[in-house]
């Protein structure tokens, strides 16, 4: 059985890392701030992976973002999935060359499935994470692209099946309404959809403590839980959360999180 994972997501925008709540961004600090105040070397044993997303709303630059990834990997010795603004094979290649182990795709999944297939053919499905940003709409679910600004004409269930047919490696399922709240994942939606596809899910949006991680990892098709909440998990929050999950019998890699 594959081990489940804890993922930390960093939201990047125009040279700074951000705190997001319902996709409204608030500046936290640049890379120097991140290295000074959030020492990834000290919490490396608490995490299985980093996801770094470029949410720049204007003047999105894949080259600037790639430089940030290259600087980040100098201090982070865990796998990194990076995305935001990938529109060409060259964009993806630049992120891989800058140190990303996987790429995260969003808008291009809907706008250019031929490119997605080419990326999978070249790098393998295990290197491709499909990101979905969604909101509830009465009894349905709307899917958004372009940093949560454009609603597409496919509902969530249809889109999940569409991505499964593309054979992406994992799906990063992010609730825009739960984003940054710290009140817990959108468990009703996860329970409704996780068994309908075989592609593993990374769930995101709403994590605020280890009990949310624990509840999310109980689902068979949830391969990982993600949080982007810098403030809830700063300090020893993540080491404590991982230790508690391991002690509860959760199928996580078991190393010494006290290091």
CA 206 from centroid of its chain's CA atoms: 12
Residue 133 is a catalytic residue: yes
Q: Rounded distance, CA 128 to CA 239, Å?
A: 28
Whether residue 161 contacts residue 197, with contact meaning beta carbons closer than 8 Å, is answered with yes
Look at residue 148 and give its three-state secondary structure.
Answer: coil
| DSSP category for residue 131 | E
Q: Using the structure block, give the residue that is written with the tokens 């809830």.
A: 232
Cβ–Cβ under 8 Å, residues 80 and 129:
no
Cα–Cα distance measured from residue 153 to residue 161, given in angstroms and rounded to the nearest whole number:
14
Break the chain down into helix, strand, coil percent, rounded to 5: 35, 30, 35
Q: Which of 48, 54, 91, 133 is catalytic?
A: 133
Beta bridge partners of 91: none
Active-site positions read 133
């Amino acid at each position: 059985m594959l081990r489940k994972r804890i993922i930390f997501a960093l939201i990047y925008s125009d040279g700074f890392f951000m705190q997001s709540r319902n996709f409204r961004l608030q500046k936290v600090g640049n890379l120097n701030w991140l290295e000074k105040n959030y020492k990834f070397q000290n919490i490396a044993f608490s995490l299985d992976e980093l996801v770094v997303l470029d949410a720049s709303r204007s003047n999105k630059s894949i080259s600037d973002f790639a430089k940030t990834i290259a600087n980040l990997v100098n201090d982070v010795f865990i796998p990194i999935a990076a995305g935001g603004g990938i529109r060409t094979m060259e964009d993806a290649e630049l992120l891989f060359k800058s140190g990303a182990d996987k790429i995260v795709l969003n808008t291009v999944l809907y706008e250019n499935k031929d490119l997605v297939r080419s990326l999978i053919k070249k790098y393998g499905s295990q290197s491709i994470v499909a990101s979905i940003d969604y909101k509830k709409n009465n009894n349905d679910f709307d899917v958004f692209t372009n940093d949560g600004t454009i609603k597409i004409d496919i509902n969530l269930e249809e889109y999940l099946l569409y991505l499964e047919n593309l054979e992406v490696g994992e799906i990063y399922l992010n609730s825009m309404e739960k984003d940054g709240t710290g009140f817990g994942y959108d468990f009703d939606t996860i329970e409704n959809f996780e068994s309908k596809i075989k592609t593993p899910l990374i769930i995101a949006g709403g994590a605020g403590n280890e009990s949310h991680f624990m509840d999310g990892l109980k689902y068979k098709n949830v391969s990982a839980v993600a949080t982007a909440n810098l403030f809830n998990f700063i300090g020893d929050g993540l080491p404590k959360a991982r230790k508690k999950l391991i002690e509860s019998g959760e199928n996580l890699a078991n190393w010494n999180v006290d290091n």
